[in-house]
Chain A
Amino acid sequence: MAEPNLQSQKDRAEQMTPERTRGGVSFMPRVDIFENEKELTLYADMPGIRPEDVDLRYEQGELVLHGRFQPGQRQGHSLLREYDEGDYYRVFQIHESIDNSRIEATCKNGVLTIHLPKLEASRPRQIAVRGQ
């Protein structure tokens, strides 16, 4: 059993988001990235973001994640504020050759899961060596 390593602190986005037309902050979503011989899988924590508010792009080896936060109306007044809400933004350079047409993403319980299948050509291939 691994040691718990939960963090309640969110990190501000280091990369510049596209020019904003409204105020607010952007956060850098925490990610796990897994690679096997078929694909790269990326998991990003974006709590508060609805699936329809995720803008995901893959272009020339760059994967751009942008979760647009929709502020809700809240009644009453604040007693305690330990975290801020805002957009999520992060860009990744993907070195593997990805099959653009087969990228799939789902967003559930505030976690965005992206499957980036590798191009057939870039997958490792077992080459049979025959004897004489």
Chain B
Amino acid sequence: MRLSRWQPSNPIWNQLNQLQTEMNQLFERWGGEGQGQAGAVAYPAVNVWEDAEAVQVEAELPGLDLKDLEIYVTGGNQLSIKGERKQNVAGQGVWHRQERGHGAFVRVLTLPYEVNRDKVEARLENGVLKVRLPKNEAAKPRKITVKGD
């Protein structure tokens, strides 16, 4: 089974996030860790689902507490995840490996629906951020009864 890392499966989503993708690529081109890595994405990488009621965003953020994160919804459909991953501090000794990244980050996602920002819930479970954003009433799918003659 091969899974590609970038799989927008919804055409609306595709359009809305095209700008974000281009922006990210621009930043990567200007240096940083993303340089030269095929398919590198902004930090943190996210997975997004939707059901009839809500949009669910997940991101892997190991080592962070909720207090290290600022999560905002602006403009009705923009989610921003801001935070900082601190570097390990140690006393006298030697670092043999330092592969775990650190630094400040911000990721802004444009959601395909307007969400009810008063009802957004965020939690961290074993280093995975899970944000549930209930859709605005107007954005929820409606069943339309088709009447016969």
Contacts and interface: CB of A to CB of B under 8 A. Distances in A.
Interface of A: 2-9, 23-25, 30-37, 40-41, 43, 45-50, 74-84, 107, 109-111
27 contacts: A5-B103, A6-B33, A6-B105, A8-B42, A9-B37, A9-B40, A32-B98, A33-B95, A35-B93, A45-B127, A47-B61, A48-B60, A48-B128, A76-B52, A77-B51, A78-B9, A79-B13, A79-B49, A79-B50, A82-B5, A82-B41, A83-B46, A83-B60, A109-B63, A109-B64, A110-B127, A111-B62
Contacts, number: 168
Interface string B106-131: 00000010000000000011111000
Interface of B: 1, 3, 5-10, 13, 17, 32-33, 37, 39-52, 55-56, 60-65, 85, 87-88, 90-105, 112, 124-128
A82 to B, nearest CB: 4
Contact of B97 (A24, A31, A107): A31
Question: What is the predominant secondary structure among interface residues of chain A facing chain B?
Answer: loop
Given A30-B100, A79-B13, A80-B46, 18 more contacts: A2-B102, A4-B103, A6-B102, A8-B41, A9-B5, A9-B40, A32-B99, A35-B96, A43-B88, A47-B62, A48-B125, A74-B49, A79-B8, A79-B55, A80-B17, A82-B41, A82-B47, A110-B61
